[in-house]
Amino acid sequence: MNEFFSILKPELLITAIIFILLFVKITKTMKTSALLLLIQGLLLLNFVGGFFFNTEGNLFGDMYFSNHLLMMQKSILNLAVFLISLLFANCLRHHEHLPEYFILMLSALLGMFFMISSQNMLMFYLSLELATIPVAAMANFDLEKKASSEAAMKMILSSAFSSGILLFGISMLYGATGTISFNEIPFALDGSVLNILILVFIFTAFAFKLSIVPFHLWTADVYEGAPMATSAFLSVVSKGSVAFIFITMLYKVFQPMSETWYNMLIILSIATMVIGNLFAMRQQNIKRFLAFSSIAQVGFIMVAISSGSAKGISSVVYFVLIYVFSNLAAFGVASVIATQSGKERIDAYKGLYKTNPFLSWVLALALFSLAGIPPTAGFFGKLFLISAGAFKANYGYIAFVALNMIVSLYYYLVIVRAMFMDRNEQPIEKIHLHPANKIGLIICAGGIVCIGLISWIFDHIQSLVG
């Protein structure tokens, strides 16, 4: 019994927080600002708690599995959610349905935890839905805005469509192999045409969640319409968790078909990077810009996944950790600016440095890291992703990836230039930062600067992967 608690600790902690929030909501005992502080405290506790009393093991008749690497992945996701609670404090704290928002977010997080720990197709499917449906509700959270409802509607419809195809794939899998356990499937796969059908159908579900081209079309619309916190959650937490389970699915379940999915990854990653970069270049809205930039980033993650090696796993985990800091910092700055000045166009950022030097520096740092400029952490993240990808010794492909990295430099630097160099008669006025926002941004900036330089972190992740 004791083991049960320690293995399932991350999920239990999240559930406990959900119950506390439900209780607070029902009794209506707290004001929203105090409530936000409570939520932040609980999430911090949850993050810190993730480092203690971790046990490896199986539960629920081998449906659920946990080890130290998974604990690490869950801690990264916990950290991201904690940072979201800080970074979006100023737009969330006046919301009357604040507890519901976090209940939804934590439910989705709970789904993700079960998802990355799943050992069985059924478990995987259920948790995937738990990780998706609350997010659609979160997208609708700007209740009075039409765009927000539209985003939610698009998301729920698209994900329903994707789930349909996934279920179709799973049912064929069961029909072909007679099992849905991750441990047994590999022995029953033989690479036949039916197996390819299964792989492609299941692959599309991941492609949809990760916004891999051409399954990415919902992304920009949803990011643009949804509240900023939801977009940030989608781009960082949701993508990170799906990338983790994607690796398990490919490396473990579809191991016998590695040749096929390797080629799939290569083709789609090229398409994803190119389309993501091209569209990111012509965006005028910062949210749509970040949507396409995150699509391009996923292309780089796929490069590392294609290696099919332990290095691929460790570099993806490391990259997601860095991505949490970099992308959340970018979203965080965009969010405070949008909340206070109502401006979301990139043109409006011209001359920002004159009025808001702190925000400009943090955003510049985040963009440098996303672009992979040394010595920010993003450079090391990309370095390991690409060197993992180079494992397969297909240098033409790697050269193409590097070329894309250079192209992406261009559009990240356009924003930096707008902030620091372009003149503007009416720059965005001085923005007052809520202390929580400031703390969050400082943590992100610190992470961007330090994580690459502290080599211990990557070594630790490598040792967990084994």
Partner 1 sequence: MPNVIYILLIPILPFAAFLLLGLFGRKYIKNGAGIIGTLCMLIAAALALYIAYGYFFDYGKLDGVYRKIIPLKYNWLEFSPGISIDMGIVLDPISVMMLVVVTFISLMVHIYSLGYIKGEERFPTYYAFLGLFTFSMLGLVISTNIFQMYFFWELVGVSSFLLIGYYYDKPSAVAACKKAFIVTRFADLGFLIGILVLSYYGGTLDFNELIQRLASPESNEFKTAIASSFLGLSAITWGTVLVFIGGAGKSAMFPLHIWLPDAMEGPTPVSALIHAATMVVAGVFLVARLFPVFAISAPEALNLVGYVGAVSALFAAVIACTQTDIKRVLAYSTMSQIGYMMFALGVSGYGGEEGLGYTASMFHLFTHAMFKALLFLGAGAVIHYVHSNDMKDMGGLRKFMPVTHITFLIACLAIAGVPPFAGFFSKEEILLAAYQHNTSIYWIALITSGLTAFYMFRLYFNIFWNKEHHAHGEHHGEGGFVMMMPLILLAIGAAGAGFIHFGEFVSSDGAPLASVFHLQFSIAPVALGFAGILVAWILYKKQNDKPDKIAASVKSLYIAAYHKFYIDELYLFITKKILFNLIGRPVAWIDRHIVDGLMNAIGDLTRGIAELIKGFQSGKVQQYALYFLCGAVGLLLLFIYIWH
Residues at the site binding partner 1, with contacts judged by CB under 8 A: 153-154, 157-158, 161-162, 165, 193, 196-197, 200-201, 203-204, 207-208, 214-215, 217-218, 220-221, 260, 263-264, 267-268, 275, 278-279, 281-282, 387, 407, 455, 458-459
Q: Which is nearer to partner 1, 33 or 462 (CB)?
A: 462
**In the complex, minimum distance from the CB of residue 251 to partner 1, in angstroms, rounded to a whole number:** 19
* Secondary structure E strands in 159-277: none
**In the complex, minimum distance from the CB of residue 157 to partner 1, in angstroms, rounded to a whole number:** 5
Q: Which of 181, 177, 228, 183 is nearest to 198 (CA)?
A: 177
**In the complex, minimum distance from the CB of residue 454 to partner 1, in angstroms, rounded to a whole number:** 10
**In the complex, minimum distance from the CB of residue 136 to partner 1, in angstroms, rounded to a whole number:** 13
- How far, in Å, CA of 209 to CA of 220, rounded? 13
Percentage helix, strand, coil, to 5, in the chain?
80, 0, 20
**In the complex, minimum distance from the CB of residue 401 to partner 1, in angstroms, rounded to a whole number:** 17
And the tokens for 445?
A: 């900036």
Q: Which is nearer to partner 1, 202 or 370 (CB)?
A: 202
Q: At residue 78, what is the residue type?
A: N
**In the complex, minimum distance from the CB of residue 127 to partner 1, in angstroms, rounded to a whole number:** 22
And the tokens for 405?
A: 């990295």
Token pair 């949507």 is found at 291
Q: Which is nearer to partner 1, 214 or 446 (CB)?
A: 214
57 Cβ neighbours under 8 A, 6+ residues apart: 3, 7, 65, 66
**In the complex, minimum distance from the CB of residue 10 to partner 1, in angstroms, rounded to a whole number:** 30
DSSP state of 279: H
Q: H helices within 342-454, ranges in order?
A: 352-355, 357-371, 377-389, 395-420, 435-453
Contact assessment for residue 285 and residue 197, using Cβ atoms and an 8 Å cutoff = no
CA atoms within 13 A on the CB side of 40: 20
Q: Which is nearer to partner 1, 143 or 406 (CB)?
A: 406
Q: Which is nearer to partner 1, 248 or 272 (CB)?
A: 272
Compute φ and ψ for 345, nearest 5 degrees: -80, 145
**In the complex, minimum distance from the CB of residue 278 to partner 1, in angstroms, rounded to a whole number:** 4
Compute φ and ψ for 176, nearest 5 degrees: -80, -35
**CB neighbourhood size of 329 (10 A):** 27
Contact assessment for residue 371 and residue 412, using Cβ atoms and an 8 Å cutoff = yes
And the tokens for 1?
A: 């019994």
**In the complex, minimum distance from the CB of residue 297 to partner 1, in angstroms, rounded to a whole number:** 18
- Alpha-carbon torsion angle 73, 77, 78, 80, nearest 10: 140
Q: Which is nearer to partner 1, 137 or 207 (CB)?
A: 207
DSSP state of 249: I
